[in-house]
Amino acid sequence: MTPLRTALYQGPGGTPTPRQAVEAFARAARRAAAAGARLLVTPELSLTGYARTPRELAELAEPADGPAARAIGEIAAEHRLALHYGYPERGEDGAVHNAAQLIGPDGTPLANYRKTHLFGDFERGCFTPGQESVVQADLDGVRLGLLVCYDVEFPEAVRAHALAGTELLLVPTALMRPYEIVPQAVVPVRAWENQLYLAYANRHGREGDLDFAGMSCLVAPDGTVRARAGAGEDLVLADVDRDALAAFRAENTYLTDRRPELYPSLSRQGEPRR
């Protein structure tokens, strides 16, 4: 099977308007498609920027089939690649979610995910957490899964994807300094221990008091970083190879060697015992 060439766009920076962000997506999609990419992944809240007030995010929120989705669908169809972006979603009940949507290469939506693990008082004051832990879609024979930022720092969230058959996990993020340990260490370990590819697309530069770390990366199931962005706006590419994935899983048998009957506490609710 032909590898799925995947592009990570570390941009746009700052707090763009949705129109400015869509224009940046179009430029990145043109470059990615010219390099043979079939998938373009952008950061958390890439449509609006992250460092906005709760009121601004509520005003900018739109439904999953809103004007931004239609505009991005046109870009995806023009360049014949799938485009994954982060945005504030206005739910059917009026609640605002920190969401990520995947638009297919024909311009139609493939999957929409609402962040389940909200980070800090800021996010909890702006968003309602999602309730669906595993959201997936298929692209060119590869099973894609969606999480957002802080979600990937919970081993259970990534393991749930691995057990559900995710082969490439898309994680748009807004990771700030001094937490560089996440792209440097946590993300490669998540890919290794769950035997999947992981695309981690971060924001860059300063937004208000926040300094985003960049360092977007695509990591293979053997834990090696196949592409790594720098600190500024960047576009990096790497291939997701299902044949290599099968070989990695045959060599590293974490998933088949599990003994879930020994870990019943993982399914229990409540606080950890102290």
Residues annotated as catalytic are 44, 115, 149
| Phi and psi angles of residue 225, each rounded to the nearest 5 degrees, phi first | -85, 115
Q: The tokens of 1 are what?
A: 């099977």
169 burial type by CB count under 10 A (0-12 exposed, 13-18 middle, 19+ buried): buried
Cα gap 71→22, rounded to integer Å: 7
Cα gap 111→104, rounded to integer Å: 9
Cα gap 194→140, rounded to integer Å: 21
Helix (H, G, I), strand (E, B) or coil at 90: strand
